[in-house]
Structure 1
Amino acid sequence: MDAPKLRRVSTRLGELDCQVVEGLPEGKSPELAVVLCHGFGAPAGDLVPMAAQMLAMHPPLAQRVRFILPGAPLSLEDMGMPTGRSWFPIPEAILRGQMRDWPAFAQGVPAGLPAARRALMSVVSAVSTTMKLPYSRIVLGGFSQGGMVTTDVALRLEECPAGLCILSGTLIAEPEWRQKAKARQGLPVFQGHGRYDPLLPFATAEHLRDTLVQEGLTVDFFPFDGQHTIDEEEQERMAAFLKARLGS
């Protein structure tokens, strides 16, 4: 099969500027939308190459799936990162490697998370409306902080999404997430995490996995021998997860 011809478009969806990547035949509507969110400090288009590679390597996805990649609402220019974006602020002590008490961090609701949640929910709503897709045909996912905010949104939408992909994420707002997850029993989740992650330790990923499973979600957990990154085999596993959502 010939490699699909990919297109990339910049647009505004809801409250956020987004990049849209697809290889759909001209005039064809997507059967599945994937809203994929970058991590803290990354530029808005950080995951565009990943989305493009997944579509290029998997023509069945390119024929049926549209990727939407929102830029986080907060600029990090004042921190010396002119193109860096953030979904919500992270305390300086944590950024410097101090006070990384992850079990304690998991219990609280980070300042700025509700605003990030509203912004991302506006994107999901706009995707549903403009692309004529129910939430049950939209997958949410993200890397690191992007995985945190997409997990939060996936647990709170009015309707259950098609799936959730958590790439090197961690647990936050645990009491709220546990309560919300009770209405998401059976939600398929793909979760990948590096065993040697120096930023979000592997144990925090296991705790997130166990929390979701305890509340009835179905988690495909993929550990890999790496650090705080997206592994090539992890990307292949995520592509397989998306293909399964197409068939559901």
Structure 2
Amino acid sequence: MRRVSTKLGELDCQVFDAVPEGTSPELAVVLCHGYGAPATDLVPLARELVELQPELGSKVRFVFPAAPLSLAAMGMPSARAWFHLPPEVLMGKERDWKKFAVSVPEGLAQARRGLMGMLSALSAATKLPYGRIVLGGFSQGAMVTTDLALRLEEAPAGLCILSGALICQDEWKQRAERRKGLPVLQGHGRYDDILPFHQAETLRELLKNAGLLVDFVPFDGPHTIAPDELAKLAEYLHVRLLKR
């Protein structure tokens, strides 16, 4: 697979594909890393997903954007963030999860605008409508892509929520009603000590009640991406590729 470092909109991105020269991808997949991770954290997933579903290799372009905020001032020179999180959440000590679910994190709007610009540039470069672009991410990356997917004028091809959580509850509930029928893959570890499992269940119910088609994949693990979850993701993307 080819790997290219480029800028899409205002965001630095790592782009992977094995699409034949002179042709365009049939589907694009945007995967956003979590809080405190390096920009390249999810990059290995491209090759792993193609190994699981080989047809993805020649027809799908994978894009891994780098979050705009540097956490170098916190002693983590390579760490990035989409928006800042409360210290109690970072330490896994947040207890008022109902308060967290209704909160609108500071910096979320700026992160969303950056992703919107990236998505617009990706669509122009690939000649793909948003309806042929899957959005997703891990942890905080899942939160920001969920927020974006519910706001776009045109629904994306799908949404992948890997160990995400509910924020902006009131607005997400209202906007989710306009995304009825959107296929969602949501995975979460039952022993997640960062974003607890019950938060994922609450998010799942909000989306399902709004009519989104949620395939929920629980697993016995912590705040991570499990092998079974990755296999499900590969299958999910293959279905999105074939769906017209």
Same fold (TM over 0.5): yes
CA deviations 1:96-127 (Å, max 9, x no partner) are: 33444211101010000000000011111111
Measured in 1, the distance between the counterparts of 2:92 and 2:162 equals 21
Residue 12 of structure 1, aligned match among 7, 12, 20: 7
Matched residue type, 2:183:
P
Alignment size in residue pairs? 243
Cα 1:225–1:97 shift into 2, 3 Å: closer
Q: What's the counterpart of residue 103 of structure 2?
A: 108
- Tell me the CA shift for residue 157 of structure 1: 0.6
Residue 169 of structure 2, aligned match among 138, 160, 174: 174
Unaligned residue ranges in structure 2 (runs of 5+): none
Matched residue type, 1:113:
L
Does the 8 A contact of 1:22 with 1:55 survive in 2?
no
TM-score normalised over the length of structure 2 = 0.97
- 1:35 pairs with 2:65: no
- Tell me the CA shift for residue 58 of structure 1: 2.0
Measured in 1, the distance between the counterparts of 2:78 and 2:13 equals 15
Measured in 1, the distance between the counterparts of 2:189 and 2:24 equals 35
- Tell me the CA shift for residue 53 of structure 1: 1.4
Measured in 1, the distance between the counterparts of 2:76 and 2:51 equals 31
SS in 2 for 1:240: helix
Q: What's the counterpart of residue 122 of structure 2?
A: 127
Matched residue type, 1:69:
F
Matched residue type, 1:143:
F
Q: Cα RMSD between the aligned structures?
A: 0.9
- Tell me the CA shift for residue 51 of structure 1: 1.5
Cα 1:99–1:205 shift into 2, 3 Å: closer
Q: What's the counterpart of residue 237 of structure 1?
A: 232
Paired residues for 1:57-206 under 5 Å:
57-206=52-201
SS in 2 for 1:219: strand
TM-score normalised over the length of structure 1 = 0.96
